[in-house]
Amino acid sequence: QVQLVESGGGLVQAGGSLRLSCAANGRTFSNYAMGWFRQAPGKEREFVARIRWTGAITYYADSVKGRFTISRDNVKNTVYLQMNGLKPEDTAVYYCAADTGAGDRREIHDYSYWGQGTQVTVSS
């Protein structure tokens, strides 16, 4: 069982930056691949980024590649999403999620545990 708590969301102007954090409880955090998803109003939840348990391999949605960076600290049981060059279309609730599987997994059903989400709003 893993409990996830996101933080770091807020209101930012277009072109600005935010850093999201996701703190996990449990001693087995390093066993999980971690992902970030987002859901905009009226839209389905979509994949944003994923990081393997070692932190050495990452995956990104095309829409955020080159602007967002996912990282993790297995000592602090925390995964981060650094978001630069934010655009109004990045406005959404951002969720972190934990997955016991390996490889490039981007589907919601691949992830067993979810946080409650944090709101990111980008003004134009």
- Per-residue pLDDT tens digits for 51-72: 998 888 999 999 999 999 999 9
Give the pLDDT of residue 27.
Answer: 66
Give the pLDDT of residue 83.
Answer: 98
Give the pLDDT of residue 12.
Answer: 98
Give the pLDDT of residue 1.
Answer: 81
**How does strand 10-13 pair with strand 118-123?**
parallel
Mark the ranges of the chain whose per-residue pLDDT is less than 70: 27
Taking the C-alpha atoms of 25, 28, 33 and 92 in order, what is their torsion angle to the nearest 10 degrees? -10
Give the pLDDT of residue 17.
Answer: 98
